[in-house]
Chains A and B, each alone.
Chain A
């Protein structure tokens, strides 16, 4: 039985050197929700996602994922993170990178299954090319495939639209919708406000490490100045 609240953060603080990246952040995310996390550069989005993914520990406060404390109980296998670093091995091929993940998770690591996964992200024709020959956008797609490979219940995506071109944007949209249909809980950190609001029903806004808004995306405040979508958004 899945917990009703998939992610709960209570009083999170996290410091880097002398700077506080997260200050007293508390919120709850119900299971199956699609939540966008937004804020300016340096506002703490990446730090928050990394704390939730258990990649780093909060200096203070509690994180609960699917009702469990990730420090004490095994819940890491239910969480997947698309971070700023791709987690890829540069000299290995796309297929080999996915195979490693599949094997560690005890899943199907045969060529056919992995090719299907690469097909989903549009990299099937580069399956046997080493990652170091990939462009930034292709690396991003492969990293996304790696996340999908994990079939996690809680998926944390940090700037998934990052290096992608317009077809890539549509790919991410499709992935998000699919994750939603599967009932996964998704947190996506992004600058693309219009896109985010169209896809997500809830949003969190971080400012200098503090949560300045948590609620429905329809009620999210506009940041001062540009609407944040920039020229990249297109239609």
Chain B
């Protein structure tokens, strides 16, 4: 297997991402005018909405990696899958935390069973479980195949989970979605969205490299040299 290239693009992406995120967050959280009805708490939308988009993107990317791996059996897809799932779980956890921070002052409870957030919480457990599966399987091939299959099955489940929770919840209370952000203030949102996008893309690329290096040590020990062993003599490099 070829040596991993020391491409600097991921680092550039991370740097750009952090810069954009700082700019967008500063703008949205501090400089943009207060929202009339909800007050300062609503400012969290400037990070919450971009996080939501990116969490979904990261998990969708994980799904694509899983499908690609099953079709091509190329290790790079497994490396990316591992990285993308971790990132998806982290972003989803962040999303749930932001949701709780918003919900407490608004509704008085930490969790209001909003369908989107509840689905996100279920996804945290679903993909977290797959990451746990990876930790307990030693054979790299099995680990890759099983986590790809589990990822596809979990992803296929997302719409069903969403619908069932939405339905289940609608019978009890009205929808509570902190969604509307007035037009004039879309810019901080977009800046943050791209900020997080660059950030996670760069991090996933770097994380995939780490996975590739670990995999290299697991599955590519040097092949024993071609030499004819005299009968009976112990052959080094075998055991």
Measured in the bound complex, the distance between the Cα atoms of B232 and A213 in whole Å is 11
Scoring B223, B229, B238 by chain A CB atoms within 10 A of each residue's CB, the highest score goes to B238
- Interface: B39 (CB within 8 A): no
Query: Are A213 and B229 also in contact (CB < 8 A) when A15-B221, A18-B221, A42-B239 are?
Result: no
Interface of A: prevailing SS = strand
Measured in the bound complex, the distance between the Cα atoms of B221 and A208 in whole Å is 16
Which residues of A11-54 have CB atoms within 8 Å of chain B's CB atoms?
A: 13, 15, 17-20, 23-24, 42
- Interface: A187 (CB within 8 A): no
Residue of A nearest to B236 (CB): A208
Contact mask B216-239 → A, CB, 8 Å, 1/0? 001101011010010110110111
Question: Per a CB cutoff under 8 Å, which of B219, B226, B229, B234 touches A15?
Answer: B219
Query: Are A205 and B231 also in contact (CB < 8 A) when A20-B237, A23-B238, A42-B239 are?
Result: yes
Q: Which residues of A contact B232 (CB under 8 A)?
A: 207, 221, 223-224
Interchain CB contact under 8 A, B231 and A23: no
Interchain CB contact under 8 A, B234 and A20: no
Measured in the bound complex, the distance between the Cα atoms of B234 and A224 in whole Å is 11
Interchain CB contact under 8 A, B238 and A212: no
Measured in the bound complex, the distance between the Cα atoms of B109 and A87 in whole Å is 56
Interchain CB contact under 8 A, B231 and A20: no
Interface of B: prevailing SS = loop
Number of inter-chain CB pairs below 8 Å: 43
Measured in the bound complex, the distance between the Cα atoms of B219 and A18 in whole Å is 7
Minimum C-beta distance from A47 to chain B (A): 12
Interchain CB contact under 8 A, B224 and A207: no
- Interface: A78 (CB within 8 A): no
Query: Are A20 and B221 also in contact (CB < 8 A) when A207-B235, A209-B238 are?
Result: yes
Q: Which residues of A contact B229 (CB under 8 A)?
A: 207-208, 210, 212
Interchain CB contact under 8 A, B239 and A23: no
Minimum C-beta distance from B223 to chain A (A): 7
Q: Which residues of A contact B219 (CB under 8 A)?
A: 15
Measured in the bound complex, the distance between the Cα atoms of B235 and A18 in whole Å is 16
Query: 15 A-B residue contacts at CB 8 Å?
Result: A17-B138, A19-B238, A20-B237, A42-B239, A205-B231, A207-B231, A208-B234, A208-B239, A209-B224, A209-B235, A210-B229, A212-B229, A213-B231, A221-B231, A223-B232
Mark A residues whose CB is within 8 Å of B.
Answer: 13, 15, 17-20, 23-24, 42, 205, 207-210, 212-213, 221, 223-224
Closest 6 CB pairs of A and B: A208-B238, A208-B235, A18-B221, A224-B232, A221-B231, A212-B231
Mark B residues whose CB is within 8 Å of A.
Answer: 138, 218-219, 221, 223-224, 226, 229, 231-232, 234-235, 237-239
